[in-house]
C-alpha cells in the first residue's frame, strides 16, 4: 500500500473521520479526510523537506468553510508527523 494511502487511513482512524474517495483527482472530493470538525489535507515526502503553497492552504480553507469545517494539514516528512492549522483554533 502506498505511503499516502497509509497516512490517510491512519489519520481517518485516529480522528474518527472518513477518507474522501478520489480526493485530489476531481472536484467532488477535493481533500483527503473529513470529520465533524475538520477538513484535512495530507502531504508526505520521504525527503528532508516539504513545502506548503499559500494557494494549497487557501483552497483547503475555502473548501472547509464551504463544508462548515475548519482546515487542517497533516504533514509527514520521513517519520516526523506534523499538523498545521490556523492560529487561534484549537486542535481536536
Q: Calculate what percentage of the chain has a pLDDT beyond 90.
A: 52
What range defines the domain where residue 9 resides?
A: 3-85
CATH number at 34 reads 3.40.1350.10
Q: Nearest-5° angle of CA 65, CA 89, CA 34?
A: 45
Please write the tens of the pLDDT for every residue from 65-87: 999 999 999 999 998 999 999 88
* Secondary structure (DSSP) of 8-55: HHHHHHHHT-EE-TTTTSSSSS-SSEE-SSEEEEEEEESSS-----HH
Kindly report the pTM of this predicted structure.
Answer: 0.79
- For the segment 12-36, the average pLDDT, to the nearest whole number, is 76
CA distance 88 to 13: 25
- Per the domain annotation, does 26 fall within a domain? yes
Among 13, 9, 10, which Cα is nearest to 21's?
9
Count of domains observed in the chain: 1
- Per the domain annotation, does 65 fall within a domain? yes
Q: pLDDT-based confidence at 22, cuts 50/70/90? A: low
The predicted structure's pLDDT at residue 28: 47
- Per the domain annotation, does 91 fall within a domain? no
Amino acid at each position: 500500500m502506498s505511503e499516502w494511502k497509509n497516512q490517510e487511513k491512519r489519520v481517518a482512524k485516529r480522528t474518527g473521520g472518513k477518507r474522501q474517495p478520489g480526493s485530489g483527482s476531481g472536484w467532488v472530493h477535493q481533500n483527503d479526510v473529513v470529520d465533524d470538525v475538520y477538513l484535512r489535507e495530507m502531504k508526505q515526502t520521504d525527503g528532508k523537506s516539504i513545502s506548503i503553497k499559500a494557494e494549497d492552504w487557501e483552497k483547503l480553507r475555502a473548501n472547509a468553510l464551504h463544508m462548515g469545517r475548519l482546515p487542517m494539514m497533516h504533514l509527514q516528512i520521513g517519520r516526523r508527523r506534523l499538523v498545521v492549522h490556523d492560529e487561534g483554533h484549537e486542535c481536536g
